[in-house]
Amino acid sequence: MGANFGDYQLGIYMNGAQGVVPELPMGFAATEELAQTVMDPRVLGYVAGGAGNEHTQRANAAAFDRLGIMPRMLVGAAQRDLGIDMFGHRMPSPLFFAPVGVLGAVADDGDLATAASSSELGVPMVASTLASAPLEQVRASAGGTPGFFQLYPPADRELTESLVHRAEAAGYTGIVITLDTWVNGWRPRDLSAAYLPMLSGQCLANYLTDDRFRKLLAEQGSTDPAAVVMLWASLFGNPTMTWEDLAWFRSLTSLPILLKGICSPEDTRRALDGGMDGIYCSNHGGRQANGGIPAIDCLPGVVEAADGAPVLFDSGVRSGVDALRALALGATAVGIGRPYVYGLAVGGQAGVSHVMRSLLAEADLTMAVNGYPDLASLRGALHRL
């Protein structure tokens, strides 16, 4: 019989018997606390902050605590199977690295370190458009683990087409189109520091290595850093996108396309009717709009409207138990964001892998204790508290 993810716990205890304790923190709160002591305050504010007074960000996380898992005994859950099938790929777990556009600001090699962890663990990465390494290098660093490319659709259609075709050629499994960031939300922490990493030239590797972007830069008549930033700022985000654009996106690639930022059942149906292959239910972790609905409360309606199509989820996930709650509500896969970013800040690639191993171990052991041998048995196991 194969190993369970929970065996990571046994290894820690075995090391402890030899007098060796973990170098990295256990749990989200402790990792966040340590990260606050080592991160550039501006970058910390960008990662930790949300929109407005951050009520929605807090509500995202708090909403999970209203969901309890019913324990079932004597069901023979000594071996657990957390694997999922998605877009023709068998994945060993339902977790994935959610797209984060400032990994290169958190650590110089942040995108590549996360991709290397993806390769090590078999946990897919959704690689951001805003990266410190070109998307081709990120994909190569992820090895044989499937991965997705997250696209912020630029205002220039030829640049959009170029980025999609590069992702397809690089071997990505699918394209995730983010819909809720065509303009930056009101983020007081970032405004107080007057800090937007990209305006300092950070995380723009995918643009600087793109033929279309370089052509536009040459046409602008200057290639100095300030010109690069101004061109990027003029192209980032497409305020004219509508449902009618889905047909054009669909024509660009044969890869599966998922729309990120969907929280409404009606939008879910429109996306699938428009030729999209899956839904990414998310409110951007509360970073883009305050005063919204906790994303986990939107998930059941999205799953029902998706009618069997894959539904990825993120926003507010802080633990392995939170991931199980989302899976029990019907999510196909669950994205981890801030927890692994803090792991990157405190321990580089080792920190990223430690955080994800810990989340997987907690999820696995919780399934074992509560008597759920696989994800299918977990569906419907939640009770509102």
From residue 205, how far is each of 134, 239, 357 by CA, in Å? 5, 23, 29
Q: Is 372 annotated as a binding residue?
A: no
How far is the C-alpha of 215 from the C-alpha of 289, rounded, in Å?
34
Question: 184 with 213: CB under 8 angstroms?
Answer: no
Angle 295-306/265-273 helices, nearest 10 degrees? Answer: 40
At a CB cut-off of 8 Å and minimum separation 6, what does 303 contact? 281, 311, 329, 330, 331
Q: Is 260 annotated as a binding residue?
A: yes
Q: Long-range pairs for 254-257 at CB < 8 Å and ≥24 separation?
A: 254/168, 255/167, 255/168, 255/172, 255/173, 255/174, 255/175, 256/87, 256/173, 256/174, 256/175, 257/174, 257/175, 257/176, 257/177
Q: Is 318 annotated as a binding residue?
A: yes
Name residue 384's amino acid: R
How far is the C-alpha of 74 from the C-alpha of 369, rounded, in Å?
10
Q: Is 215 annotated as a binding residue?
A: no
Q: Is 100 annotated as a binding residue?
A: yes
Q: Is 212 annotated as a binding residue?
A: no
Q: Is 284 annotated as a binding residue?
A: yes
Strands 89-91 and 84-86: antiparallel
- Which residue is it, tokens 């194969």? 2
Q: Is 187 annotated as a binding residue?
A: yes
- DSSP assignment letter at 374: B
Q: Is 251 annotated as a binding residue?
A: no
Catalytic residues: 284
Q: Is 9 annotated as a binding residue?
A: no
Q: Is 353 annotated as a binding residue?
A: no
Q: Is 150 annotated as a binding residue?
A: yes
Q: Is 314 annotated as a binding residue?
A: yes
Q: Is 337 annotated as a binding residue?
A: yes
Q: Is 178 annotated as a binding residue?
A: yes
Q: Is 11 annotated as a binding residue?
A: no
Q: Is 300 annotated as a binding residue?
A: no
Instruction: Locate the DSSP E strands across the chain.
Output: 67-69, 84-86, 89-91, 95-97, 125-127, 147-151, 174-178, 257-260, 278-281, 311-313, 333-336, 382-384
Q: Is 228 annotated as a binding residue?
A: no
Q: Is 379 annotated as a binding residue?
A: no
Q: Long-range pairs for 136-141 at CB < 8 Å and ≥24 separation?
A: 136/166, 136/169, 136/170, 136/209, 137/112, 138/111, 138/112, 139/115, 139/167, 139/170, 139/171, 139/172, 140/115, 140/170, 141/112, 141/115, 141/116
Q: Is 46 annotated as a binding residue?
A: yes
- DSSP assignment letter at 302: H
Residue numbers in the known binding site for glyoxylate are 46, 152, 187, 260, 284, 287
Q: Which residues are annotated as a binding site for FMN?
A: 99-101, 128, 150, 178, 282, 314-318, 337-338
Write out the binding residues. 46, 99-101, 128, 150, 152, 178, 187, 260, 282, 284, 287, 314-318, 337-338
